Amino acid sequence: MEEIGFIELLEKKFNMSFNNKEIIEVALTHSSYANGRKNIKFNERLEFLGDSVLQLCISEYLFLKYKSKPEGELTKKRSLIVCENSLYHVAKKWNLGKYIKMSKGEEITGGRERTSILADCVEAIIAAIYLNFGYEKTGKFIIENFEDIIENAIKNRIIMDYKTKLQETLQKDGDVSIEYNLVKYEGPPHRRKFYTEVCTEKNVLGSGVGYSKKESEQNAAQDALMKLNVKVSML
């Protein structure tokens, strides 16, 4: 029973004792495992809850620690911290892949390494901890486990050049011209928001908003990469 191994690992490493171990087992169960099996709960509902717990915890941490940073900067930092890549990074630290229950089919096609499966599972585990111990203890757990990611986000060490990544991705299959079109902007000069679309000759690939043209372009490129299902490693 590998998932027991993970529960023990969690309990030991983070000094906690679960009343409700079943929830952690559910958190470690991917939806594919429930296909064709009866009465199996899987982690999607927990992921829904865990995402919000993580979001509040990181928001509060940034809000309290960076009292002079404006909202726009806090939002930017948070989006670097609360994202699939960060969750994936945490999953890898925990060696989570080997503990997840999934279907044989999912496993054969690389499920144990799949970014989305690992990231979603981390969110589900956060929810399971939240339901066992409440917000305060879960907050400490999150900060402890995301410390390096938070640190890197704060110090701008996370290099997220999505435009370069998008260009590399598209040009794998030959020369493609990519254009960034400013669609509109709004707001007063000191808080102006820019809306950009990234396009090839034929298609709009993504759109992004930002407080500078550059930022809106990066966000459009990130959106395009997500829509193209390209994983961007950030750590």
Question: Which are the catalytic amino acids?
Answer: 51, 123
Residues in 133-152 that interact with a copy of itself by CB under 8 A: 135
HSE-CB for 50 with a 13 A CA cutoff: 26
Query: 37 near 131, Cβ under 8 Å?
Result: no
Spatial CB neighbours of 12, under 8 Å, sequence gap ≥ 6: none
Among 3, 11, 14, 31, binds a copy of itself (CB under 8 A): 31
User: Which strand (E) or helix (H) includes residue 56?
Assistant: helix 44-65
Among 111, 122, 153, 197, binds a copy of itself (CB under 8 A): 197
Separation CA 214–CA 180 (nearest Å): 10
48 binds a copy of itself, rule: CB under 8 A = yes
Residues in 212-231 that interact with a copy of itself by CB under 8 A: 227, 229
Question: Hunting for tokens 């110090």 — which residue is that?
Answer: 155
98 binds a copy of itself, rule: CB under 8 A = no
3 binds a copy of itself, rule: CB under 8 A = no
Beta-sheet strand order (sheet of 179-186): 179-186, 193-199, 204-210
70 binds a copy of itself, rule: CB under 8 A = yes
Nearer to a copy of itself, 76 or 89 (CB): 76
132 binds a copy of itself, rule: CB under 8 A = no
Separation CA 45–CA 42 (nearest Å): 8
Q: Please report the DSSP string for 90-142 in residue order.
A: HHHHHTGGGG-B--HHHHHTTGGG-HHHHHHHHHHHHHHHHHHHHHHHHHHHH
Among 3, 44, 148, 215, binds a copy of itself (CB under 8 A): 44
Nearer to a copy of itself, 5 or 187 (CB): 187
Nearer to a copy of itself, 123 or 158 (CB): 123
Residues that bind a copy of itself (CB under 8 A): 31, 44-45, 47-49, 51-53, 55-56, 59-60, 63, 69-71, 74-75, 127, 135, 183, 186, 191, 195, 197, 203-204, 207, 227, 229
Residues belonging to the binding site for Mg(2+) are 47, 120, 123
